[in-house]
Chain A
Amino acid sequence: MITLKNIKKSFNKNPVLHGIDVTVNKGDVLVIVGPSGSGKTTLLRCINYLEKPDEGSISIDNFTIDEKSASKKNILTLRRKTAMVFQHYNLFKNKTVLENIMEGLLVAKKINVAEARLISMDLLRKVGLEEKANDYPTQLSGGQQQRVGIARALALKPSVLLFDEPTSALDPEMVGEVLSIIKNIANEGITMIIVTHEIDFARDVATKVIFMADGVIVEQGAPKDVLVHPKHERTKLFLKRLTPEPEYEI
């Protein structure tokens, strides 16, 4: 279980998050949607302290960290309970595909090389990239790189898997392959928090949806409540803009 309490964050005195409270149960798939600049990515990055919240506490399982207890050691502990899939993949450029997945196992989990290789090959098979094991990231397409990014995150068996707009940087025809992999792992009962603009995907995969705007949670609940029958005007406006009605006949 993940609990965020009163998360506040400002950049240069410009408030981005105004005290966010979120609870995610084990096995939940929480999807965060909202317009650009609403703070959803910042919130996600606060969960593994890539962004240091100014205030507020983060609890994962039995471990709690807040702005006062954020020592190097505690931040490391928090990060080792989470894993992130990045918008721009951020695969280690100096490592092969296989090494990318093994890296966290060797360093953070202290698993021996032989076992780490087995686990990593298994995951590569899962994302359908077995034959690319010894390639370098620059030799892969965007969609393939993101699949490796997902495998790298999965390898760590985190308490929660964080996705930061995993398909925003992809060509339209590669979005599908990445989303279907995310859907598959969602079905395995892994706790996930996903920031995305793919509303159809959100409706499909989420157990809970949060709509954020201007650094606050406007609305949250079941996907069909938030994304199909929203209560707030701001949510309605956002969804309407995503699926604009044609103003002219073609």
Chain B
Amino acid sequence: MAIVDFKFALEQVPAVLKGVPWTITIAIVAMLFGLILGLLIALCRIYKVPVLNQLSILYISFIRGTPLIVQLYVFFYGVPVLVDYLNPRLGLHIDADEIPPLMYALVAYTINTAAYQAEIFRSSINATNAGQMEAAYSVGMTTRQGLTRIVLPQALLIALPNLGNVFIGLIKATSLAFAVKVVEVLAISKIIANDGYRFIEMYLVASIIYWVLCLVCEFILFKLEKRMSRSETRMGLNASV
């Protein structure tokens, strides 16, 4: 028997692939809700909305200052305690054990990624020239119209490479979702590995699956950036010459 049993590894690929839908679901759902939440937080910070601004600073500091795995644990063990505390006080009858693990993962990853996305949006909105908003005002737009029609489309273009990084980071971070009992790619690999003591084989399979997923994302992001930056062709950085 070889030191690394490639045949065994290959045979296990279909089983591990069953974890991919979980990985993708968590990454995409967290990304989408993170975009919305992140943008709202960024706007609260830029326009210095009272109370919300201070809360945002605290939230971003906490999320960025603690490891994701710790956040998952706190969330996973904290929510049942919170539910037990709230049930009698609000007259609810929620059974914390009935909440599916995926739900924990989706909420926890969204909360985590929104903090990073908020900072990306804040910097990219600030990076768009102040003159753009002034021009929007000067043609009679409201702040909301200036944001949605002029500033945010430009900010999104600036933010895109960083948002891509966040998404790729999210895909890899889903490997921690076993902490909240979601059986995704790495979890399946670990379970199979434990059965036959085939650790290196299974971790190789998992790493290749993550890598392929990230390659696909990189390709999509590359295409997206090219498509969206058509108004910047003379800026040099994106020119294909």
Contacts and interface: CB of A to CB of B under 8 A. Distances in A.
Given A86-B135, A107-B141, 19 more contacts: A48-B138, A72-B142, A79-B138, A79-B140, A80-B140, A84-B138, A86-B138, A90-B129, A90-B132, A92-B135, A92-B150, A93-B154, A93-B232, A95-B150, A103-B139, A136-B230, A136-B231, A138-B234, A139-B233
Which one of B134, B139, B230 has the highest number of Cβ atoms from chain A below 10 Å of its Cβ?
Answer: B139
A90 B150 contact: no
Interface in A139-170: 139, 152-153, 156
Contacts of B230: 136
A88 B141 CA distance: 19
A76 B136 CA distance: 11
A92 B138 CA distance: 12
A32 interface: no
A4 interface: no
Contact of B234 (A86, A104, A139): A139
Interface residues of A, number: 29
A7 interface: no
A156 B134 contact: no
B232 A108 contact: no
Contact of A83 (B139, B145, B231, B234): B139
A158 to B, nearest CB: 9
Interface string A59-96: 00000000000001000100110111010101111111
Contacts of A80: 140
Interface of A: 48, 50, 72, 76, 79-80, 82-84, 86, 88, 90-96, 103-104, 107-109, 136, 138-139, 152-153, 156
Nearest to A51: B134
Interface string B130-161: 01101111111110010001100110010000
Contacts of B132: 90, 92-93
Contact of A138 (B140, B142, B231): B231
4 nearest A-B pairs in the assembled complex, by CB-CB distance = A108-B140, A104-B139, A90-B131, A90-B135
A210 B162 CA distance: 50
B138 A50 contact: yes
Interface SS, A side: loop
B150 A108 contact: no
B141 A108 contact: yes
Nearest to B143: A72
A195 to B, nearest CB: 14
A79 B145 CA distance: 14
B49 to A, nearest CB: 15
B235 interface: yes
A109 B145 CA distance: 13
B129 to A, nearest CB: 7
Contacts of B141: 103-104, 107-108
Interface in B213-236: 230-235
Contacts of A90: 129, 131-132, 134-135, 138
Contacts of B233: 136, 138-139
Contacts of A136: 230-234
Contact of A94 (B139, B142, B150, B234): B150
Contacts of B131: 86, 88, 90
Contacts of A48: 137-138
A107 B139 contact: yes
B80 to A, nearest CB: 46
Which one of A48, A79, A93 has the highest number of Cβ atoms from chain B below 10 Å of its Cβ?
Answer: A93
Contacts of B235: 138
B139 A156 contact: yes
A177 B13 CA distance: 69
B126 to A, nearest CB: 15
Nearest to B142: A76
Contacts of A95: 150, 231
B69 to A, nearest CB: 40
A171 B73 CA distance: 62
Contacts of B154: 93-94
A139 B232 CA distance: 9
